[in-house]
């Protein structure tokens, strides 16, 4: 059994993968809750290997604490051996989450694009098992918060339910503008990518994917565990 721990900007997630790559179970919690929950999560499980990845600034401190209870745990860094090649001008700045997504794509195809809808929306492109980079733009909540923060009259809106266009209230206009702008953006990247690679797959993932999946192009497949699967693949390459 492999233990996968993925620390994001808001939550830490843990996964258990069987040796055949099948996901057995997973949890998500705030960073301060993880130590206690992880003990119960892994109880009576035969875990032989694990990997820890965190995009936060306190990743080394959290890793040191986790290592006390899970001595077999390895940490994903930019020096970790990867199952694909990099074609990227500044690999020293490349986010660990983006590396994990690229590895996750390999489960689907050697040429594919991941669209990760989280705090930011990231696009990761893999062509013949070579990572080619992608794009980064603000996520749904970031766009809504920026409209409230940088204007005098627009409210703080958290509702991300799709609204019809034209919307009939300021709050609904903000939601409609945000979601539809993101949909047009993602569909535009899909068109650009598939024009170059007609048979390639596009995988949608991330916490906000549920607000977008049904309205995107039919060639898009949803996989909420793409990052975890990528981390599991990277771990298996270390064993």
User: Which CATH number is 2-108+223-238 given?
Assistant: 3.30.420.40
63 touches 38 (CB < 8 A): no
Query: What is residue 98's predicted lDDT score, i.e. its pLDDT?
Result: 94
What span, in angstroms and rounded, lies between the C-alpha atoms of 112 and 125? Answer: 6
**DSSP labels for 137-204?**
EE-HHHHHHHHHHTSSSPPP--------SS-SSHHHHHHHHHHHHHHHHHHHHHHHHHHH-TT-EEEE
Query: What is residue 58's predicted lDDT score, i.e. its pLDDT?
Result: 64
211 touches 202 (CB < 8 A): no
- Per-residue pLDDT of the chain (239 residues), as tens digits, is 999 999 876 788 999 999 999 999 999 988 778 778 888 899 889 999 999 998 766 667 778 878 888 889 899 988 899 999 999 999 999 999 999 999 999 988 999 999 999 989 999 999 999 999 999 999 999 999 999 999 999 999 998 888 889 999 999 999 999 999 999 999 999 999 999 999 899 999 998 999 998 888 767 899 999 999 999 999 998 87
CA angle 25/29/34 to nearest 5° reads 90
Bridge partners, residue 125, by sequence: 113, 133
Cα–Cα separations (whole angstroms), residue 153 to 69, 96, 163: 50, 38, 21
Q: Pick from 57, 178, 205, 195: which is nearest to 122 by CA?
A: 205
What span, in angstroms and rounded, lies between the C-alpha atoms of 136 and 214? Answer: 22
Query: What is residue 56's predicted lDDT score, i.e. its pLDDT?
Result: 67
Query: What is residue 159's predicted lDDT score, i.e. its pLDDT?
Result: 86
Query: What is residue 59's predicted lDDT score, i.e. its pLDDT?
Result: 63
Query: What is residue 142's predicted lDDT score, i.e. its pLDDT?
Result: 96
Residue 44 annotated as catalytic: no
Domain 133-221 - what CATH class? alpha beta
Half-sphere exposure at residue 118, Cβ-oriented, CA atoms within 13 angstroms? 19
What span, in angstroms and rounded, lies between the C-alpha atoms of 179 and 191? Answer: 18
Strand, helix or coil at 224? coil
Delimit the CATH 3.30.420.40 region(s) of the chain: 2-108+223-238, 133-221
Q: Which of 44, 69, 89, 97 is catalytic?
A: 97
Q: What is the pLDDT of residues 128-175, one digit of tens each?
A: 999 999 999 999 999 999 999 999 999 999 988 888 899 999 999 999
């Amino acid at each position: 059994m492999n233990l996968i721990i993925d620390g994001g900007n808001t939550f830490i997630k843990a996964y258990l993968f069987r040796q055949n790559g099948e996901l057995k179970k997973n949890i998500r919690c705030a960073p301060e809750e993880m130590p206690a929950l992880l003990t119960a999560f892994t109880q009576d499980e035969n875990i032989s290997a694990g990997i820890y990845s965190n995009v936060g600034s306190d990743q080394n401190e959290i890793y040191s604490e986790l290592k006390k209870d899970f001595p077999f745990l390895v940490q994903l860094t930019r020096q970790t051996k990867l199952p694909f090649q990099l074609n990227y001008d500044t690999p020293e700045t490349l986010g660990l989450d983006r590396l994990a997504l690229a590895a996750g794509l390999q489960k689907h195809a050697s040429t594919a694009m991941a669209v990760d809808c989280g705090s930011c929306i990231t696009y990761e492109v893999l062509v013949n098992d070579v990572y080619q980079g992608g794009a980064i733009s603000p996520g749904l909540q970031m766009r809504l918060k920026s409209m409230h923060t940088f204007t005098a009259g627009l409210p703080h809106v958290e509702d991300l339910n799709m609204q019809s266009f034209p919307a009939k209230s300021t709050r609904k206009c903000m939601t409609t503008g945000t979601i539809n702008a993101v949909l047009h953006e993602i569909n535009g990247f899909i068109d650009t990518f598939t024009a170059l690679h007609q048979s390639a797959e596009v995988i949608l993932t991330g916490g906000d994917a549920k607000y977008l999946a049904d309205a995107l192009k039919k060639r898009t497949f949803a996989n909420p565990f793409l990052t975890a699967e990528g981390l599991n693949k990277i771990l298996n390459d270390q064993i």
